[in-house]
Amino acid sequence: MDRVVRIGAAQLGPVARRDDRHEVVQRMVSLLDHAAEDGCDLVVFPELALTTFFPRWAMDDQEEIDSFFEAEMPGPATQALFTAAKRHGIGFCLGFAELVTDSGGAHRHYNTALLVDAETNEVGRYRKVHLPGHDEPEPWRPFQHLEKRYFDVGPDGFQTWRAFGGVVGMAICNDRRWPETYRVLALRGAEVVLIGYNTPVHNPPAPEHDALSDFHNHLVMQAGAYQNGMWVVGVAKAGDEEGVPMIGGTAIIAPSGEIVSQASTLGDELVVSDCDLDACASYRTTTFDFERHRRPEHYEIITTQRGSTPPD
């Protein structure tokens, strides 16, 4: 049985603070139309695709903060995306800020990715585990990175779902730098991992890394793909957003670790590849046959402690 999924990685250029969600959704619908012409089965949008990357600002007013979140999905502004996708028969993965009200009326805030199938039925949602940045505003920074302030850590960890003829996992932005992300997903059978990101070129606490931002972005996703024998689709919100330049580098990466297609702009751009899920087996049944070669009895410290403990 043919298990080739044609995936469109739908990079977005910057979204300004004043941009209306309807305008952003129109840009996404254009990319979906494009993807339909190209015969895509699945389109992947970036992290927090509907708004500007708001954790760059220190805000105290919870109502102002919540204005960047979606209390329903689809909602009034996003319905058009679901309608277009259903018309085209294309599934999609969408990153957005999710406001959840539990049965007791308490609010939870997640950095979320939603996956829907070609009928726009929900396949699953992933809530970001590795929140980067800080939780108290640091005035010395030219811009903030307050994800730890505005979001709760995803309580469900890394899950996988059967969809698009294979097994799909999701991760978000900073998750991609952590090898545990890919490994947990691969142990749960993922054959393709969908990852949206917003990555400023400049890292205020470590400006010495800035020149390496693009290199690091691809390095971690390529290693994650190869070491787990799976496809990785990395999708940027890119370009100069509110005066903060962000990397692009949207890429589709094969289980070999090779980038098979890549964005060449920092704007709205669709990158398409045929992803043969059967290509995973070449790695998973040989070099990375986990059952034959892994040695979990020697990995214990990975789960028993968080920080590093050098020898005496």
Residues that bind a copy of itself (CB under 8 A): 129-132, 153, 157-162, 167, 174, 177-180, 182-184, 186-189, 203, 205-206, 208-209, 212, 215-216, 219-220, 222-223, 226-227, 256-258, 282-288, 290-291, 293-312
Q: Which is nearer to a copy of itself, 49 or 184 (CB)?
A: 184
Choice among 93, 173, 275, 280 that is catalytic: 173
Whichever of 222 and 250 has its CB closer to a copy of itself, that residue is: 222
Give min distance, CB of 246 to a copy of itself, in A: 16
C-beta separation of 11 from 248 below 8 A:
yes
**Nearer Cβ to a copy of itself, position 118 or 223?**
223
Q: Is 39 exposed, middle or buried (0-12, 13-18, 19+ CB in 10 A)?
A: exposed
To a copy of itself, the closest distance from the beta carbon of 70 in angstroms equals 24
Q: Distance (Å, rounded) from C-alpha 15 to C-alpha 262?
A: 21
> Which one is catalytic: 128, 147, 241, 280?
128
Tokens of 259: 């980038």
Name residue, tokens 């969809």: 163
Structure tokens at 266: 């920092």
Please check whether residue 32 is in contact with residue 81, taking contact to mean a CB–CB distance below 8 angstroms: yes
Side-chain-side CA neighbours of 21 within 13 Å: the count stands at 18
Task: Please answer whether residues 199 and 213 qualify as being in contact, where contact means their C-beta atoms are separated by less than 8 angstroms.
Answer: yes
Q: How far is the CB of 204 from a copy of itself (least distance, A)?
A: 9
| Residue 148 Cβ vs a copy of itself, minimum distance, rounded to whole Å | 8
The CB-of-199 to a copy of itself minimum distance in angstroms stands at 11
The reply to whether 128 belongs to the active site is yes
User: DSSP assignment of 73-114, as one string?
Assistant: SS-TTTHHHHHHHHHHT-EEEEEEEEEEE-TTS-EEEEEEEE
Write down the least CB distance from residue 271 to a copy of itself, Å: 21
Catalytic residue list contains 173: yes
Of the candidates 175, 161, 159, 8, the one whose C-alpha atom is nearest the C-alpha of residue 94 is: 8
What are the angstrom distances between the C-alpha of 242 and each of 35, 180, 239, 285, 306? Answer: 28, 33, 10, 47, 35
Identify which of residues 174 and 261 has a Cβ nearer to a copy of itself in the complex: 174
**CB closer to a copy of itself, 10 vs 251:** 251
- β-bridge mates for residue 273, sequence order: 7
Task: State which residue, 103 or 309, has the beta carbon closest to a copy of itself.
Answer: 309
Question: Do the Cβ atoms of 45 and 235 come closer than 8 Å?
Answer: yes
Task: Report the catalytic residues.
Answer: 47, 128, 173
